[in-house]
Structure 1
Amino acid sequence: MIPKGPEAFYTIKLDEDKKFIKWVDFNVPYSLLEKTLALDIKSYGTETKLNWIELLAYCAAKCGGNFKKHKNSTLDNLVNELKSGAKISDLTRDLKYYDYYYEAYSAVLGGFVGEFEIEVDDKDNPGQKKFVKKYGLKAFSPIAKGYNYSHYDDFGNSRSYGFSRKHLGNDLMGSIGTPVIAVESGIIEAMGWNQYGGWRIGIRSFDGLRYYYYAHLRKNHPYNNTLAVGQIVKAGDVIGYLGMTGYSIKPNVNNIKTPHLHFGMQLIFDESQKESVNEIWIDVYNIVKLLNKNRSAVVKDAELNDYFRVYDIKDPAIPQEIDTLPSPVTTGPTP
């Protein structure tokens, strides 16, 4: 539910005369995420291509961000109008807050769906793989395929180590050593020890809007050994291993009671928000549920003592030039 007045969720940087979002409450129900995603994918290649972010923004604007008031007929009627030839720009021209929701939801979900190529087993050549072109969900679950985990919506719960604060992510409970997967392609901005998050890794999306934070990685062997700050990773790559490190000034200490991955997403509309009191962290619980539909298969390389993905991906989101990518940071949030 949004605060009253546009000034509540935008701010203006006076020295640059730039307006950017300062507040996002990502509370879209899982059922609506799932339905709009299916509509988007199913419409690919048809006369009326639907955009799930546009559909979600429309529904949010109609209910004022209070999805308890959302009606299924709102989405159904919108889809029917679009299939009948109506334009989303015409239907939303006078719809209050649509532009805000579209920008906010694009920041959250902008890298999740699109065209890509993925390796599959080549039935005509046993033991070989080939690339096939696809359209759909190209973001992956943070937990590798074949590994069990459990989670619940713990965003905003209290934490007390160091200082009293709210939990700004989702804890995925699993077994130590479970391979952790890059949700989206991006560039590694942070690796190393954080007294709150333990061994952690931070990955920035190529559009700069999303910062993915993976924390409490395994003692002694937290990361895939091929990784380094500044390196590009692809969605579905193995980036590390689930553990229970953290809550210690001394590095490489297991002070977390239960093995789990802390997974978080920060939205960055302006670089001034990256490390500040104005950071925007969203509830990713329903996103993690959705990404369970797409999990990366992995295999261990015994010689390197690391896990790697089985099926490679060609992601158009990876830029040809990386000169404009955000500069690396060395700190991290407090899970």
Structure 2
Amino acid sequence: MTVVSAPQGAGRVSSEQPRRRRFSVAPYLLLVPAIVVLLVALGYPLVWQFITSTQKFGLAQQFGKPPEFVGLSNYTQLFSDPQTWTVVARSIAFCLVNAVITVVVGVLVALLMNAVGTIARLVLQIAMLLAWAMPVIAAMTVWIWVFDWRRGIANWALTQLGLDFTNHNWLEQPLSFYFVATVIVVWMSVPFVVFSVYAGLTQISDEVMEAAALDGASAVQRFVAIVLPMIRPVLMIVTLLQVIWDLRVFAQIKMLQDAGAPTASTDLLGTYIYRLGVGSSDFAMASALSIFVLLLTIALSFFYVMHLMKEDQ
């Protein structure tokens, strides 16, 4: 009688518990120097600004007079002024409109860059780099000349097309002022979105796109079902950054105001803080508004940050 022996390990339980990750302190220790630098470089000015916002701090305090503690009265005075809320609403609208236009235009240019040949792509990349690398002051000098009401090329070109734009002052009315500001801000911001989205587009497999095309998917369907989900993390990040940057825009608005625009009806948060602090020497009120801008930035970006953290889990 032949005895068949059971295979070795047959009675052993095949399923094994996954190994638990061992907690390591080393990565957190490596982050400590960077966190300390950030706390010193960013935390100290933030704390100083908050303390200043609770004091009476004007021109006299700049020359050594001790500041007087006033608590939250600066905030009460600031937000009881209707002009403050007008500037806040104007800034949020300008920020959101510019962020949306910048991202949409940037995605379209990135798609174009991904679709054209090597020579055309190189030309687009050089053009984007030149626009991105141009200093703000130099770029604003050119744009102010373009929209100059006496000898600007914008008025000349529109007049040549049959429209009466002779001596039209683009900066005189708030609506046309913000149109000019939007053109400038979007022109300066689009290259960052283009290069970021184009980098995401290069990671999409050509085989997947070809398979979808063979299955009968149109260009719009391929973009919605394949391209958009693939580049969504990039779009989330660039949109978040654009919202933050456009909310804090200052140099473009200030230089357009200095070119002849009325300040009261064209102020955004950046220029309003400058006018309160440097213009009126009320540094405490400017600090209070700066703290509010920080909280507003956190509130506007909270959804995006929470969404990014949820995707990383």
Range of TM-score over shorter length: under 0.3
TM norm structure 1: 0.23
TM norm structure 2: 0.24
When you count strand as a share of all residues, which structure comes out higher? 1
**Larger Rg over CA atoms:** 2
When you count helix as a share of all residues, which structure comes out higher? 2
The answer to which structure, 1 or 2, has the higher relative contact order (CA under 8 A, 6+ apart) is 2
